[in-house]
Amino acid sequence: MRNLHIPSRSPAYAKNAMVATSHPDATKNALKIIEKGGNAFDAAIAAAAILGVVEAHSTGLGGDCFCIFYSQKDKTVKAINGSGVSISNIDYGKVKVTEDNTIDPYCADAVTIPGAVAAWLKINADYGSLSMHDLLSPAVNLAENGYVVADVIADMWVRETEKLKKDKDCQRVFLKENKPFSAGELHFQPELAKTMREIAKNGREGFYNGWVAEDIVKKLNSIGGRHTLNDFAKLEVDYVEPIFSHYRDYKVFECPPNGQGIVALMILNILQEFDVSSLGPDSFERIHLEAEASKIAFHHRNKYLGDPKFSNIPVEKLLSREYSKKLSKMINFKSTINNLEILPLQNNKDTVYISVIDKDRNCVSFINSIFHPFGSGILTPNSGILLHNRGASFTLEKPHPNFYEPNKRPMHTIIPGLLMNQDTPIMPFGVMGAHYQPVGQSHFLTNVIDFEMDVQLALDHQRSFFYDGVLSLEKNFNKNIINLLEKSGHKIDFIDIPHGGGQAIMINQNNILIGGSDPRKDGIALGF
């Protein structure tokens, strides 16, 4: 139980079903979907659609999606890769680049074909109980009749104002007299409502063909893109075989590459070689160990990860116990590792993660993103779709596995997780925040497993993140710990926006649901 003298909140408890998201409107309406006769899959799709309206800087129809789930019908863990591919006709001579020779994240070159809608439709067709009209109706209502802007979202709006001014359609929809919307104000997206109605009526044809696809292609072509209607029409999403690793007495399941779930598993594999519970949750040793393990895992990510259809990724080797034992020997508690190359990649802070469990104990771990805050900053004029910029994750360095090529999926940061006790699902979980996600997942799981925190406390707990040569701390760390970290060789800074967000729902030994939602977002966990 939490210390009642320290400001926080208790986890949510429920007997039948539970939803945890990063926004109350999404949680509340997704729970209503279950009460109406829907299942966990239906609720997750409804929540994702709502979040695309009320948390537009993080997600939407113009982004990608991954889902890992346990289906009581199939009695197994499955995953779906809803990440889109690059265009067919790349003109390398015209690709806009940054000073670091990476793809400019705010141009048409960065927009890969959005895969989220295709994934939603596939999941609904194969596992849903209700129609897409039922699932999209709450989001349509909020987009058409207005929703109230929440605090964290309003803060991000302020930070991204100049970006929104650069696109006339973004400016029209997301700014009011060139100023961002404030917390407590109403915001409307009528064009987006129209698009969701089209998807509800015509399914895949309503997004990847017809007037919606034409609107997207026309907008991208007008600013230098080489996207075609055929690129949209041929986009497919796939069921993929999940990967897993053991941590203590549990199995941790992740989606396979092109996602970075393997990085989370590598970190956990390295941590497993140490007695983490003996270190203390807030100790120098624990923070240092996480940083060094992350450093090693990210080095391997940047060396090997890309689209497995284009290159051979040695998943079995990277996840073997023998290899993790070897990697763990690189860690010294008196000094830092300084000789591992980690390629600079585009970073972001915005994604939505959704955790759902229904009365039948279907467990859905669902993540949706447009990558950077407000994605590419490119909004379609008639369909109201804010397009992601996931293509900025590609590298332009040959012959890297993640090299920018036609019809290829980029290395992806969004990763839903699922914890199993042997063959029994016990917790869909996820932590948001781009490159931070595998670090956040491992930190959360060790909080739960090694330090026996409840899911809410595990999400609340202070976070650190080693990336790009710096150990970035949230602003509540003890000064003595900071001094020890600096003495061991860490370069320290303090992050302005807290690391990530997160949700989780656990099934306890009494078959009761226990849910948590990260205070770094506006969200909540609710059940009945």
**Burial (0-12, 13-18, 19+ Cβ within 10 Å), 509:** exposed
C-alpha distances out from residue 471 to 263, 346, 351, 432, 491, Å: 18, 18, 22, 18, 6
Question: 362: number of CA atoms within 13 Å, CB side?
Answer: 23
Q: How far apart are CA 369 and CA 9, in angstroms?
A: 27
Is the distance from CB of 17 to CB of 517 less than 8 angstroms? Answer: no
**What is the residue whose two structure tokens read 């360095």?**
397
Q: How far apart are CA 313 and CA 457, in angstroms?
A: 36
Question: 123: number of CA atoms within 13 Å, CB side?
Answer: 32
Q: How far apart are CA 169 and CA 382, in angstroms?
A: 9
The secondary structure of 7-28 as a DSSP string is: S--PPEEESS-EEEESSHHHHH
Q: How far apart are CA 506 and CA 510, in angstroms?
A: 11
Q: Please tell me which residue in 21, 112, 351, 380 is annotated as part of the active site.
A: 351
C-alpha distances out from residue 132 to 128, 136, 506, Å: 9, 6, 28
SS3 content of the chain, % helix, strand, coil (to 5): 35, 20, 45
351 as an active site residue: the answer is yes
Catalytic residues: 351
